[in-house]
Amino acid sequence: MGDEVSTTPAQDIAAELRQQILAAKLEPGTPVDDAGLAAELDTDPETLQDAFTALAAEGLLETLPDKTRRIAIVDNHHAIQLLDVLEVVLVALFERAAPQIGRSGVAAMRSRALELEATIGRGDMPGSYRALLGLIRIILDSAEHDELRAVNEYVLARSLGRLYLYRRAELYFIWTDGWKESVALLEADEPDAAVRRLRQAFWILTEELRAGSSADA
């Protein structure tokens, strides 16, 4: 109980809406009905506005020129950019952290990688998001650099959350296989190869998206 972190009503509402967005119950482009959501979530307008502010900062909600809101839309071009951000930041952190991840950390990564595969397999996208955040946190902790963590934790979570607004289910196996095989290389005491494998997963995903973009042009 002592480890529990208290949250504000606005944070609770933001978490509920984030869950609905990641689960595609609120799909990209869906107009936001303030009154309807306030009634559905049994909250007051001020708390709802605070939750909206948090979700907008995460890139999950956007305000249109007419001041109405909608669930953010991420297209192929932006998805490639988000993968680029994730690769640059996460792979650099992993390169620093990989040699320092101990047995318990690798075991935890194995658990999270399997959880990622299982949740994606059953269509539990919020669960897969939590599994990925778990993997990222292990890497951040193992990098043992407070400033790197402070700067990058939010960037990684935001980029990852926005990427979930662009669904390409046929490519998910590239992501899950990349993580599983990278962890297997850590288990084999090959940290450099583990970093290369994760970088390769990003490269393959990016090239697949670029190929799709060219085909649509």
Within this chain, do residues 21 and 113 fall inside the same structural domain, yes or no? no
Which segments of 3-124 does DSSP mark as H helices, in order?
9-22, 34-40, 45-57, 76-86, 92-97, 103-121
Within this chain, do residues 18 and 60 fall inside the same structural domain, yes or no? yes
State the CATH number of the domain containing residue 159.
1.20.120.530
Residue 1 resides in a domain: no
First to last CA, the chain: 55
Within this chain, do residues 164 and 188 fall inside the same structural domain, yes or no? yes
Within this chain, do residues 138 and 84 fall inside the same structural domain, yes or no? yes
Structurally, how many domains does the chain consist of? 2
Please write the tens of the pLDDT for every residue from 144-170.
Answer: 888 888 878 889 999 999 999 999 999
Please write the tens of the pLDDT for every residue from 192-213.
Answer: 999 999 999 999 999 999 997 6
Residue 2 resides in a domain: no
What's CA 153's distance to the chain center, in Å?
11
State the CATH number of the domain containing residue 24.
1.10.10.10
- Classified as helix, coil or strand, 63 is strand
The token pair at 8 is 């504000």
Please write the tens of the pLDDT for every residue from 88-131.
Answer: 999 999 999 999 999 999 999 999 999 999 999 999 999 999 99
Residue 88 resides in a domain: yes
Within this chain, do residues 25 and 91 fall inside the same structural domain, yes or no? no
Within this chain, do residues 65 and 43 fall inside the same structural domain, yes or no? yes
- Classified as helix, coil or strand, 174 is helix
Q: Which residues contact 34 (CB under 8 A, 6 or more apart)?
A: 45, 48, 69
Show which of 20, 36, 71 is a domain's final residue: 71
Within this chain, do residues 181 and 129 fall inside the same structural domain, yes or no? yes
Structural domain harbouring 64: 9-71
Show which of 38, 71, 104 is a domain's final residue: 71
